[in-house]
Structure formats: structure tokens, C-alpha cells
Structure 1
Amino acid sequence: MLENDFTLLEKANRYGTPMYVYDGDALKEHYEHITSWLHQTAEVFFSFKSNGNVSIASLLRSFGAGIEVASEGELFMAIKAGYSPQQIIFSGPGKQKEEIDTAVQHEIYCIIAESKEELTYIAESAKRQDKQVSVGIRINPESIESRAKIKMGGVPSPFGIDESKLNDVFDLFQKYDHSLLFKGIHMYLGTQVLDETSLLSSFEYTLNTAVRIKNEYGRTCQMVDLGGGFGIPYFQHETPLHAERLFQHVADLIRSYETELEFPRFIIEMGRFLLAECGVYLTTIQYVKESKGQPFLIADGGMHHHQAMTFRGRLLRNNYPMRLIKHSSNTADVVKQSIVGPLCTPEDLIGRQVELPQGEVGDLLCIEKSGAYGLSYSPTLFLGHSSPLELLLFEGNDYVVRDRGTPEDLLLKQNRSFFRQRRGEDETDRASTRND
């Protein structure tokens, strides 16, 4: 569906741009392939941070996914999306005390503790609420090779509890045995991994750690969260994972450990790998100009809606995968041209010297692989532009799953009492001056 230029042009004409378009049918097919290749005891948990739309979360729940949240807001939306407490895990290194209290109150499947201090507060919250709370521990391994583009474990990190400090952790479980129920472990070495060997090595390390905890501490994991980190290729030099082979290898690996680990619940987290290729971002060319001999296309969408497509925070200045959909049947030569958004910053660079058909006003720019870390990762309040519409295509129907924003949205939750008070004082002062 998203490869069909005519369909995308028709949706853009009907709903306007900028907007995100998600292909729910492709997502369903992708999810079903993944779960058919995986071991039957392995469950896919959607990483909510990758796409914060509650309708997308609800759709994945209907397919059978669980959900991983990382804030009270995401927990709230997960419940609104219909997830039961047993389908929710809560991770993140900086959970606020109020967030922990809420998670304990809802009796979710597992809170993933990422420090000893956090584990202590979880126990205290459970004790105050007269509950026994299920807790997993995220472990930062001592030493393991990772080819993740963004490393989150195996190095000094705010994420997880160092493997060398497990003695202290299990002492706390012993101390708070009436409040804490040890559920299992979680490891996540990094994201955007495109090396199959690295992923399998990481998962095997996690499973070995679960065995070691059973043997050394007498604690049996009811849950083993293998994390994820499955990458997708954005740039020409990147090679996609062989998904079927990879997940069958993961299934074999789980199968070899399940008896020794006494058949725990195996969790695999996914966000980017699930969603990225099931969504696109559409923006229309508003102006075409030349500056010092170089052509520029200026679009109506940009970094504020889709920060990941720009060069912000990227070591290599690679262009995101994109294509230009001509609004007319006119043929155009392929030329190098730079594409920018409407923001007053040079960082709003969508593509540098991209080889595309010569752009014209009214052409539609399609940013591919945008279903994950698009809107959820972007500075939407920057410069006061309205938020984009989000459209879900599923089973032959269009669903507007987020309305386009309005300028009035910018005042949401802003308190204008100071402004009103000052305006009243100014009017009083002016009246007094006139009377004098």
C-alpha cells in the first residue's frame, strides 16, 4: 500500500500534509510472520516509545502483542489501548516515585528495576499499598561484544544494574521478601543492531545469566526478557537482517534453555523492527529556489515532526530513504537537490544533495521507513507549527488516528493568569495617568 504512489497522492490530496500514513495490513502480516518464526513460548512486546499513538498500540494488542512502557503517560495510554496488567512491563532508568506508585497500584506484570535505589523504593511503595509487586531486574553485563549502533549495555551506563552488584540486589529481595516478588531478568545491549551473530550472542548471554542466577542465588526466573535491538537498514551501506533465519535461531536458542530454566515466559521487545517499514511521512514541496548555484526544495514538514529523518544527532551525514511523487505527469530529469523543512534553523535539513527528479511546487515528498521514532521522537513544540495528522489504513478503510493540530493547541496547559493580571494592572495605570 505504501509503495503505491497513486494511493499516497490521493491520501495527501484528501487529508492534506504534513502527515504520517501507517499500513495496518502490512503491520499485521509482519507481526504474524515474526510470531510464526519464533518459539511458541516467546512473546512479542511492543516498545511504546517507538510510536506513541494509542490506536497503533491497540491494533498491536489485537494481534496478540504485549507492551513495554517507560513512563506513567505510556502506562495510562496502554491501559486505554486495552492492555491488561499482565500484558504490561515498565522499564526506564529514571522512574519517578509517583510513576512507581501508579505501576504498583495497577499490579502490572513486571516493573523492571534499573538500580538498587529504585528497587528499594518499589518495595516501600508496595509495603504502603499492602501489595506484593512483581519485579524484574535489568542487568548491565560485565563484558559482552555488541555491534549496536547505540550501545546501552556492556559499558558504563545509566541503564540497568551492573552484573557485579547482583549480590546486593538479591540481598534486597531477601530483605523485602513480603513486598517484592522476583519475576526475572532483562538485558538490552543496544538498538539498531544489524548483525545476527551479535544479537544471538546477546540473547545467549542473557539466558546463561538466568541459569547462573538460579544456580548461585536459588532464584528461578519466571520471566526472561531478552530485550531486542533488531535493526532495519536506513542507508545504502546497510544490509537487512534475514528475519526468518534469525528468529528461527532465536527459537532454537530458547528451546535449548527452556527446560533448565523451568519454562519461563520469554519476552522479546520490538519497536523499530515492528513498525518502521509500515509507515511513511508525507510532506509537500512549497517553494523551489536556488542559492549560490544550488537548488533547494522547501517542504511544509520537517524536523519538528520527524527529527530522525534530519541529520540531527547523526555521526554520518546520510540521507534517509525518500522518494518524490510528482503531482503532474510531467517527466523530470534526476538532479541533485537539497530538501529542507519550514523551520528557522539549518538543522531542519531533510536531505542533502539527494538525487531525485527535479522538484516542483506541489510535488509530494515521501519519507520511507517512518513508522517508528517519527513523531514520538520529535520536538513538536519547536516554532509553534501544528502537529501532523496521522492516518491508519486497515482492511480497506481510512482511520484518522490523530487529528491535525491547531494553533490553539499551543496554549494547552499554559497558565495565562500572569498575562491577564498584568494587562489589568497596565489598564489601571493608564487610567490613573489620564486622571492625573
Structure 2
Amino acid sequence: MPENDSLLLDTANRYGTPMYVYDGDALKEHYGHITSWLHQTAEVFFSFKSNGNFAIASLLRSFGAGIEVASAGELLMAVKAGYSPQQIIFSGPGKGKEEIDIAIQHEIYCIIAESKEELIYIAESAKHQDKQASVGIRVNPESIESRAKIKMGGVPSPFGIDESKLKEVFDLFQMYDHSLLFKGIHMYLGTQVLDETSLLSSFEYTLNTAVRIKNEYGLICQMVDLGGGFGIPYFQHEKPLHAERLFQNVAELIRSYETELEGTRFIIEMGRFLLAECGVYLTAIQYVKESKGQPFLIADGGMHHHQAMTFRGRLLRNNYPMRLIKHSQKTAPVVKQSIVGPLCTPEDLIGRQVELPQGEVGDLLCIEKSGAYGLCYSPTLFLGHPSPLELLLFEGNEYIVRDRGKPEDLLLKQETSLFKQRRAEYETDGASSRYD
């Protein structure tokens, strides 16, 4: 058994399953490589949405990352994790008014406005709080090729302000000059991009837009958020990005704009690319059955903990990368078998006809590339199963960074006394006359 599999099996035996295991040392090394290839031309901001664990955010802050939040909850966690206001940006197309109020109150580096109406509310809130809000504009470009798996710009979209409408937005900065400070622009065309040329082309478009805004509107971009969208390969037909070459080319591209965008702070957002390959999800096989000639392995974890690994809503219905760690040393033949979770829905399909060693009760299924968009992306309340434990391995230590949930957690924040009196009255009065 490989050393890593032996470690995971031992970890699962001691802590139980299902569980997430994050490799903090791998994350530190990965982050170090990325920042060294960028050569300080750009700052890496962690996209909190990709993994909502407080300890992961704290660890990345200790490495030097900034953070991009998309809710008041994420903002307050980021502050508690030690991020300074200058390290926080707030994006999202539907920020609530109270969320905007909180962001202004904390004087974060930049609120990314995604509509004219949002910008007006930011200005009014800042005026009410007697503050000046630092605001960036998310630009939805008129036309740009994007090979993102999920497109978020360059098409009709709730994200960002159409490039053709920038003038009327910039007029608001003059109208509210005491309440609004123009910080710069943000462009994010899509996620899970595995084409280097497409990424570099979108970044160049963003930089050109910043120069055009300076020349046409006289507005200096103190910040240019290039977005991100760096993909990782999940399926066999996908090829990984050549990270070193890509980030060195990004650094060179930024340097080529240093004269026209002198003093600008360049930001690159990362979530999936930063974290996905630094975490795994472990779930144990609890039943083995056959139905109409097909073998099924039934695991104790599933869609409610890790929606992305299942076939729910997936455009390309391929199996996630996974391996089976045998609990015994005996060799098992490789066979095709389907793996499902415990939920009462056919959508809880972990793998369809996967070629793995023949599964037995007690074997451990390891879902790879699960450090991003795992638990935080999943319907955890569906069917009421407890949440999984999350474990961080870092510098020779093991840290439980989220304890395993309990069945009674379902009652948290719910009103349980509302109908007690009425039920008691029914049982007393109703029962006596029920069969009269």
C-alpha cells in the first residue's frame, strides 16, 4: 500500500468517516511557487467561496494572501481570521444593503460594484456613515473570446456592468465625489479555464480597458483585479495548465503595462486552482450489493457533503478522480462498479461504472482534488445527515478545523416550542373525545 494511502486509512480509522483532509504543507508549497513565478507583479487573493473553512483562510493569510469575499458572513470571518481591511475585496452581483453597510463600516480595500443601482446605494450608505467608500467596477466586456467551462462575462450576464454603460457609471463618481473613491476595475470572464492563451488574452483585455479608462475618462486605476478562472483537470481528457510558464507570462504581461499603469495594484483571484489538489474527501464503503447484474458500493458519504463529485447538474457526466483504498492487504481484481452515497435520491451517484479494485465493506474511497468547492458547495441540510469532520495536516500536526456534526444540530436556530402547548391541549382534550 502506498505511504499516502496508508496514512489516509489510518486517519480515517482514528477520526471516522466521512471526512475531508487538507494538506497544509502542499498548499504552502503551491502558494509559494505561484507567488515566486509572479515575481511580485501581482498579489494573490483567496476566493473564500471556494472553501469556507476559517482555518484554511487563516493559513493562507499567514502565507501572505489577500481575500475576496462575497457575503457579510465571509467578510466577518475574514476579519476574524486576521485579514486587514487593505487585504479584503467584496464582490457579488446581489449584495444586500446591510452587507454593503458592514463593508463600508469596516473600510475594506474595495467593494466591487456590479450594477449602477448598487453603486448608488454604496454612495448613499457611505454618505450616511460619513465615510468615503473605495469602489471598483466589475466590467462585463462587449465581446471577448472565452474558453471558460462556465462563462461569467462577455455574454448577457448578472455579473458586472456592460462596457457600453461605463460612462453613466463614471458620472456617478463625479456626482458622489465625497462618498465614492474610484479604486479600479475587475474583470472575470469565467471559471475552470484550461487554455493558457485564453487566460492571457482576457488579462490583456482587462489591462487595455484600464488604460482606455485612463485615456478616455481621466480615471486612474489604483487597482486592476484580473480575476482568475485558472482550471485544473478533473477528467482524463483534460490537460493541466503549465503553471510555471503561465504565471511567468502573466508577470511579463503586467510588466509591459507598468509605464501606462504606474503605481497600480494588480490582483489575481484564486480558489479552485489554489486549493483543489490540496484536499481529499474520504468516505467508507458500508454496503456492497448487486442489482440486475450490476455491482453497487454504498458509501457513508455523498452529495450532501460533496455535491461536485456526484453527477448532479454536471454538464459532462464523467467520473470524478477517485481511488479505492483496501482495508486489507489482499489483492482484488479491478472491476467496473457504481458507487453511491446514502441519500434517497438517484442524484447521489458518486461514480458510474468506475474501474476500481473490487470493493468490500470497510474499504475507503478517496475522492481526489476536493480541496475546493467541496463542503461549502453542497446541500448539507438535505436529509439531515451530520456534517463531516474536516482535518488539516500541517507541519507534522493534525488539526480538527471543523468538528463532526451531530443529528441534534438540525434543531439549531429552529423554534421547537411553538406548538408544544397546542399539542398538549390536543392530547388532553382531543384524545378523550376522539372516539365518543
Instruction: Check whether TM > 0.5.
Output: yes
Structure 1 residues not aligned, in runs of 5+ = none
State the match for 1:85 in structure 2. 85
Whether the 8 Å contact between 1:39 and 1:252 is mirrored in structure 2 is: no
Q: Is the counterpart of residue 259 in structure 1 residue 259 in structure 2?
A: yes
CA distance in 1, matches of 2:307, 2:5: 24
Q: Deviations over 1:395-418 (max 9, x none)?
A: 000000000000111001011232
CA distance in 1, matches of 2:427, 2:328: 56
State the match for 2:219 in structure 1. 219
Q: Secondary structure at the match of 1:366?
A: strand
Q: 1:381 corresponds to which letter in structure 2?
A: L
Cα shift at 1:3: 7.3
Q: 1:110 corresponds to which letter in structure 2?
A: C
Q: How does 1:225-240 map to 2 (within 5 A)?
A: 225-240=225-240
Q: How does 1:253-292 map to 2 (within 5 A)?
A: 253-292=253-292
CA distance in 1, matches of 2:39, 2:170: 30
Q: Is the counterpart of residue 327 in structure 1 residue 327 in structure 2?
A: yes
State the match for 1:168 in structure 2. 168
Q: Secondary structure at the match of 2:224?
A: strand
More displaced 10-residue stretch of structure 1: 375-384 or 408-417:
408-417
Q: Secondary structure at the match of 1:158?
A: coil
State the match for 2:304 in structure 1. 304
Q: 1:305 corresponds to which letter in structure 2?
A: H
Q: 1:269 corresponds to which letter in structure 2?
A: E
Q: Secondary structure at the match of 2:418?
A: helix
Task: Please report the TM-score for the alignment, with normalisation by the length of structure 2.
Answer: 0.98
Whether the 8 Å contact between 1:39 and 1:254 is mirrored in structure 2 is: no
CA distance in 1, matches of 2:127, 2:428: 56
CA distance in 2, matches of 1:206, 1:223: 11
Q: How does 1:148-163 map to 2 (within 5 A)?
A: 148-163=148-163
CA distance in 2, matches of 1:154, 1:379: 30
State the match for 1:205 in structure 2. 205
Cα shift at 1:392: 0.1
CA distance in 1, matches of 2:339, 2:258: 51
CA distance in 2, matches of 1:66, 1:424: 55
Q: Is the counterpart of residue 350 in structure 1 residue 350 in structure 2?
A: yes
State the match for 1:145 in structure 2. 145
Q: Secondary structure at the match of 1:370?
A: coil
Q: 1:187 corresponds to which letter in structure 2?
A: M
Whether the 8 Å contact between 1:39 and 1:250 is mirrored in structure 2 is: no
Q: 1:372 corresponds to which letter in structure 2?
A: A
State the match for 2:192 in structure 1. 192
CA distance in 1, matches of 2:422, 2:319: 48
Whether the 8 Å contact between 1:308 and 1:377 is mirrored in structure 2 is: yes
Q: Deviations over 1:198-219 (max 9, x none)?
A: 0000000000000000000000
Q: How does 1:48-87 map to 2 (within 5 A)?
A: 48-87=48-87
State the match for 2:338 in structure 1. 338
Cα shift at 1:431: 7.8
Q: 1:51 corresponds to which letter in structure 2?
A: N
Q: Deviations over 1:75-120 (max 9, x none)?
A: 0111111111111000000000000000000000000000000000
Cα shift at 1:422: 2.4
Q: Secondary structure at the match of 1:344?
A: coil
Q: Is the counterpart of residue 181 in structure 1 residue 162 in structure 2?
A: no
Whether the 8 Å contact between 1:39 and 1:255 is mirrored in structure 2 is: no
**How many pairs does the alignment contain?**
434
Whether the 8 Å contact between 1:183 and 1:222 is mirrored in structure 2 is: yes
Whether the 8 Å contact between 1:22 and 1:393 is mirrored in structure 2 is: yes
CA distance in 2, matches of 1:291, 1:419: 44
Whether the 8 Å contact between 1:233 and 1:239 is mirrored in structure 2 is: yes
Task: Please report the TM-score for the alignment, with normalisation by the length of structure 1.
Answer: 0.98
Cα shift at 1:289: 0.3
Whether the 8 Å contact between 1:136 and 1:186 is mirrored in structure 2 is: yes
Q: Is the counterpart of residue 122 in structure 1 residue 140 in structure 2?
A: no
Cα shift at 1:430: 3.9
Whether the 8 Å contact between 1:42 and 1:266 is mirrored in structure 2 is: yes
Q: Is the counterpart of residue 20 in structure 1 residue 3 in structure 2?
A: no
Whether the 8 Å contact between 1:324 and 1:364 is mirrored in structure 2 is: yes
State the match for 2:360 in structure 1. 360
Q: Secondary structure at the match of 2:43?
A: strand
Q: Secondary structure at the match of 1:4?
A: helix
State the match for 1:397 in structure 2. 397
State the match for 1:415 in structure 2. 415
CA distance in 1, matches of 2:429, 2:76: 47
Cα shift at 1:429: 2.4
Structure 2 residues not aligned, in runs of 5+ = none
Q: Deviations over 1:285-343 (max 9, x none)?
A: 00000000000000000000000000111112100000000000111000000000000
CA distance in 2, matches of 1:58, 1:3: 28
Q: Is the counterpart of residue 369 in structure 1 residue 393 in structure 2?
A: no
Q: Deviations over 1:191-236 (max 9, x none)?
A: 0000000000000000000000000000000000000000000000
Q: Deviations over 1:329-377 (max 9, x none)?
A: 1110000000000000000000000000000000000000000000010
Q: How does 1:240-251 map to 2 (within 5 A)?
A: 240-251=240-251
